[in-house]
Structure 1
Amino acid sequence: LGDALLNKRMLPYRARVRARTMDEFDGWVRHDGEEFLYVLTGVVRLYTEFYEPAELRRGDSAYYDATMGHNVISVSADDATILWVTSLT
């Protein structure tokens, strides 16, 4: 999304969440910057290194420091879809 913009400070993208368990990940995802996610379809569970898991439904959102370990799984019957925006540092 927004790939024509030069010198972006945010990376917005739509993602399909296929994972159903934390076992499908090789550890935590972590990187510089901050992230915002917005659930477009389905239900997801956001796992973070320092907080209890949060279940998010269509229309729900989360904003967090991306240097903290994090992963997202779908808890829907179908894959979930989210809008993810990552700040670029």
Structure 2
Amino acid sequence: MKRFDANFEADRHVLVPRVYASTEAVLVMGLAEGTSLSKWVKTENDVKKRDDVHALLVDMMAKMGMQDRFMHGDLHPGNLFIKIEEDGAPT
């Protein structure tokens, strides 16, 4: 998680919760603000917001695979949280 956090440190749209403790079997992290992607896609009907989140996710995946050459090992809609900022930008 430290490497993932460092890779996105300069990106204000990708926030990584703080890691408090970890072992090989357990990872304890801070609370992530927002709504899980799995819930968000079921409730958000605004096409612009959906397009913005889609673009953010595509950019994030491309950066991980092509630039960082380091992929998050447990990305799924329950582990991704969406928060729309006051300026309308997703984080």
TM-score in terms of structure 2 length: 0.25
| Higher percent of residues as helix | 2
**Greater radius of gyration (CA):** 2
Higher relative contact order (CA 8 A, sep 6+): 1
Name the TM-score, length of structure 1 as normaliser.
0.25
